[in-house]
Structures are given as C-alpha cells and as structure tokens.
Amino acid sequence: MGTVSGDIAPGTAPLRLRPGLSFALLGAVQITLIATITVITVALPVIQRDLRLTDTDLVFATSAYSLSFGGLLVLGGRLADLLGHRKVFVAGVAVFGAASLAAAAASTLWVLVAARFAQGVGAALAAPAAMALLSSVFPDAARRTRAMAVWGVLAGIGAGSGNILSGVILSWVEWRWVFVAPAVVSVVIILCAPLLPAGPARRPERLDVPGALLITAGLTAFIFGLGESDWAWTGVGALGLALFAVTQARSSRPLVPPALLGSARRLAALFAIGLTAAAMASYFFMLALYFQNTMDYSPLRTSAAFLPPVFAVLFTASAGGRAARRFGAGVLTAAGLALGAAGMALLSTLDADSSYWGVLVVGITLFPVGAGFTFSGATVWAVEGTGPGEAGLVGGVVNTAMEVGPPVGLAALVPLAVAHAAGHGGGEAAADASGYGFAFGVAAVSLAVAAGLVLLQRATKSSHTPRA
C-alpha cells in the first residue's frame, strides 16, 4: 500500500500509514459515500426501464440511501466514540460495501430499496468515524486544522464526481456498475484499515437509547417529509426532534450533550454547512435538467459540463487549508458564502438561449469555489475545541448538516422554480430556464445574507476564533 511511518521493529508496534496516506484513505471513503448519493441520478431512466419501475418507485430507490444516512449519522458518531473510531469505521465500510453489491444484483424494486437503505446505514457509521480518526492521524493542531479544511471540501468533490462517474459508466457498461464501483472501493479500504490508528480507547459508557431512537426517527421523518414535500411527515420529524431536545436537557447521560450545540460559533458553522449543501443540491439538480432538457445535452455531455466545477472544488481543497490558517475559519466561511452568492447571481441570468461558454460557465465554476471555501472554513469552525471523546459525535453532527441541507434546498427552491416557470411565457424551454434562474437568484440572496450573519457572529467577542 505504500510507505509506513518510521522504522518499526517487528513485534514492537503496529505498522502505520504516513498521515498523508491515511488522509487519502479516509478521504476516499468520504468522497465515495457522498458520490453514492448522486451517482444514481443519471442512471434512473435506465434503471426504470430495466426493472419496470414507476416514477413513484424511483423516488423510493433514490431516497432510501439519504434517509438512513442522514437519520443515523448522530447515532453513528456516538457509537464511534463509545466503541472505537476504527472499529466502527471498518464495520460501516463493510456494511456499505456489502449493500452496494446487493444493489448491483437487485432484480426487483424492494431489493434495490433495501440495499440502498443498508448502504445508508453503513455510511452513517463510516462517515463520522472517518472524520473522528483525523484527530488521531493529525495530533498536531496546525496540521489537523489544514486537514479539516480539506475534509470540508470532499463533500463537494463527491457530489460532482457522482454525476460525472454515472455518465461515464452508462456510456460504456450497464447501470449495475454504478454500485460495483463503491463496493470495490470498500474492499480496498477494509484491507488497508489495519494500518490506520485505532483512535481513543473504548469508553465504558451506556448509550442513551431513548435519545438515539428519538433523533433517528425525527431526522428520518424530517428528511423524508422534505424530500417528498409531505408536510405531515416533516411536522412529525420536527416534533420528534423537539422531544429529543427536551429529553437531552433532562438526561444525565445525553446522546448529544447540550453544551455541544450551545456554542453560537458551532451553530453558525452548521448553519453555513447546511445552507451551502442545500444550494449545492439544487444547483446540481436544476443544472442537470437545464443541460439535458433545455440545451439538449446527452448524459455524457452533461457529465462533461460539470467538469469545471469539479476542478474548481479541487482548487479550494488545496487552498482552503492555507486560507483557514491565515485568515481564520470564520472569515473563510463568510468569504465562501459571498463567492457562492456571486456564482448563484450569475446563474440567475440564464435563459433558454444562454451559451455554455459565457456567463454560465463562470457561474457554475464560481459557485463551487465559494461552496468549497464555505465547507472548509465551517468544518474547521465546527470542530474547534472538540475533545477526542466527542470527535465522532461532532463528525456525525457536521455530516447531518450536510445531509439535511439538500432536501431542504430541493423542497424550497424547486417549487419556486416550477411556480415561476408556470407564470412565464415563451415556450416550455424558456419557462423552465426562467424558473431555474429565479430559484438561483433566491439562493444568491440567501447565501449573501448568511455571509453577513457569519461575519456578525465572528465579530462578537465571545465567539472570536483564535489563530494558532
């Protein structure tokens, strides 16, 4: 697998990967877990024909992964802290890989839905544990800050990679390979996992079972309700989360200690992550429709159109860590939100006759640069001051913000786009483009307001981010 750290005599200590290789291994998992959300999107029409599914069936196949992933993340993070970061990480990757193979072999709707749900269960265990392991890989605070800044960008890389990978796969082989690919990654990760640090020792504490059930049920119902625009389920989810908050305040051993979310700085960071994730999900969803329905692009050409954003996010991955250290995580978060707002403002001008090589390509490139910087800064901001015993839990909370954001964004912006298009003349293509532009304009205003709020929060004396 490559170089190991130090000259270690046999029998005295386990072999360990160098920090850079450990980060690459953990980062590959994070990218794969996020890519699995979007990799199915372009393949949906082919899956529908092959398995003879209705449009409603496709909704179940699409949402099953996000439901279990988002709903179980906080529980997964807490289990990682209690049982051991590496142990839970390996278990999650194993479940995810096995479920991916089951999805690839699915011959009926319910086998596919069950496999996608199981993928999400594995992802909910692996994602927070992987993020928590960074504290063991990088014990030095300065290097850990840079690593966390890069880690924040990986979600954007994963989302873009899923769209591109699906188009490439469908151009050469059948749709089942979109699930074989993450299974192969899982096998490689499991084989290399013993070379990762184990993390802090297991903590002899009992799990808050009622709290775990409440937050899992509440998040699952909330995400499902938003994804389906079913406000009854959304209300049930919100009620479950409210009950969770009440029980946590009274519990002697809470699943999520109230102090963890009592930090205004951390709440601002989570808000920035969730809002940016909401904007990014709507960005990919509406642009994929715009490219294929309005500009008449093929799936492969649509994937190619998303290459500039992916390269833009890769740029932020290399620059975000340095910027967070030099200017502070709060400033980087606010700057990212402002750049994202500028990109969305440019996209708000698109119409049925827009040229790709003009304002459009600038907008689709500028927004992910801003999103990458936001994720970098806000991730550092959210984890600052976290002890090893809560690293997994904080990782679960950060990933939950990323998972809750997309259904919120789609539930809010897509109906706005549809309603605006319905009142716009000039043909279906022109109406759709006008609707997308209006939704992007709303996103631009939201991101700009958020940038101001983050700067305001940073300016308060109690939440000033110290520079190392």
Residue-level pLDDT at 31? 94
- CA–CA gap between residue 314 and residue 325 (Å, rounded): 18
With 0-12 / 13-18 / 19 or more C-beta atoms within 10 angstroms meaning exposed / middle / buried, residue 394 is buried
Annotated domain spans of the chain = 19-207+255-463, 208-254
pLDDT tens for 269-302 read 999 999 999 999 889 888 888 887 888 888 778 8
DSSP state of 260: G
- Half-sphere exposure (Cβ direction) of 266: Cα atoms closer than 13 Å: 15
pLDDT tens for 317-355 read 778 878 888 888 899 999 999 999 999 999 999 888 888
Mean per-residue pLDDT of the chain: 85
Distance of CA 237 to the CA centre of its chain: 20
Third-level CATH fold of 19-207+255-463: Growth Hormone; Chain: A; (1.20.1250)
Comparing 78-87, 203-212, 294-303, the range with the smallest average pLDDT is 203-212
Sequence-ordered list of residues with C-beta below 8 angstroms from that of 217, at least 6 positions apart, any chain: 71, 237, 240
Residue with tokens 């490439």: 168
Distances (CA, A) of 22 to 217, 290, 449: 34, 39, 37
Residue-level pLDDT at 10? 47
The candidate with the shortest Cα–Cα distance to 349, out of 460, 437, 269, is 437
Distances (CA, A) of 200 to 15, 277, 284: 17, 30, 38
- CA–CA gap between residue 283 and residue 65 (Å, rounded): 20
Comparing 235-249, 363-377, 452-466, the range with the smallest average pLDDT is 452-466
pLDDT tens for 147-172 read 898 898 898 888 878 877 877 887 88
Distances (CA, A) of 10 to 13, 192, 193: 7, 19, 19
Torsion 314-315-321-324 (CA) sign = negative
Sequence-ordered list of residues with C-beta below 8 angstroms from that of 148, at least 6 positions apart, any chain: 134, 379, 380, 383
pLDDT tens for 424-439 read 766 667 778 889 999 9
Sequence-ordered list of residues with C-beta below 8 angstroms from that of 427, at least 6 positions apart, any chain: 352
What pLDDT band is residue 3 in, cutting at 50, 70 and 90?
A: very low
- CA–CA gap between residue 451 and residue 343 (Å, rounded): 14
Residue-level pLDDT at 427? 61
Residue with tokens 């409603």: 56
Q: What pTM, to 2 d.p., does this model score?
A: 0.84
Residue-level pLDDT at 55? 63
- CA–CA gap between residue 268 and residue 266 (Å, rounded): 5
Given a cut of 60, whether residue 464 has pLDDT beyond it is: no
DSSP state of 248: H
